[in-house]
Amino acid sequence: MIRRAALALLALLALGPALAAAAPPPVRGVAVTLWGEKAELGAAPQELAAVGANHVALAVFWRQHDVAATELAPVPSVTVSDDRLRAAIRAARAAGLEVFLLPIIDVEVRAIGAWRGALAPASIDLWWTGYQRFILHYATLAAEEKVGLFAVGSELASTEAWRDRWYALISRVRKVYPGRLTYSANWDHYEAVSFWERLDAVGVTGYNELARSDDAAEEELAAAWVPVQARLRAFAARAGRPLMLTEVGYPSQDGAARRPWDYTVRARADMEEQRRCFSALARTWRDDPVLEGIFIWEWSGAGGTSDLGYTPRGKPAEIVLRSWFRMK
């Protein structure tokens, strides 16, 4: 407790006046990955509510073998059971959190450049049949559990020009799911999405590269966000939709600002770089009328200052997040 209190004090002192008026967006969310059939939320709903979140993004996964595969299916080692997913949704709601259900494709065999954004199925028709089954399965479950926000996909850049297929799928989703729909586009590929007009919000990840060095000051990181923010705001205006940052996160290690999207790196622990990144994020997006919501990636993992992953849990970054999300 003493160590945690000391970290909190240091983080608050480091924030200074930066977040004095940093009002958060209406939708304040944090993601939790439900990985494997026995996955559960544990204490996460109560912890997120205490941080000031009012939403939780539940990431769920089906798997395909590689980018050329045509078969997409639930796998016990990857896919949470439906019963446990329903229990997680109900636990989140009991803690006062609304739910964003985020289905994600896991590609088992990867190489450089071979990830879900570069899918090239040997048969598009066969793959799309499996993808529709994936999305409609979770859309139906989301409707039954009264989930308020649902994503029809995540970072599938190579498919985003398939306008007619996406239109037809979204129409089928709307027949079974009455809530709001979005799509989680990759941070550098959202303008190519051909079906925004069929959705309720423009969803974009926020893993933008903010610096070229590991020791960039917070002011430099915030300045790097400015042109990104301007482009996103202009695009959302053209689309006639509110903007949501569906994933934004930074690992607590050297290089977080340079390569926030690279979850494979293992570098020296750096809680301060992660904190600066989160503080710059809050400074940039405070009081933004276009930004409807933000989802921090992610709360999963043990947390604490020995953890090198994305979670802000038990780190100085948590205090930044708490200060921002709880600002009235």
Give the pLDDT score at 14: 44
pTM of the model: 0.93
What gap in Å lies between CA 225 and CA 315, rounded to an integer? 23
Coil, strand or helix at 74: coil
CATH fold, domain 2-12+22-325, is TIM Barrel (3.20.20)
What gap in Å lies between CA 126 and CA 221, rounded to an integer? 44
DSSP codes, 105-147: EEESS-BTTBSGGG---S-HHHHHHHHHHHHHHHHHHHHHTT-
Give the pLDDT score at 301: 83
- The residues near 54 (Cβ < 8 Å, ≥ 6 apart) are 27, 28, 29, 96, 97, 98
pLDDT mean values, one per 10 residues, the chain (328 residues): 42 44 86 97 97 98 97 98 98 98 96 90 98 98 98 98 98 98 97 98 97 91 97 98 98 94 87 97 94 96 92 97 89
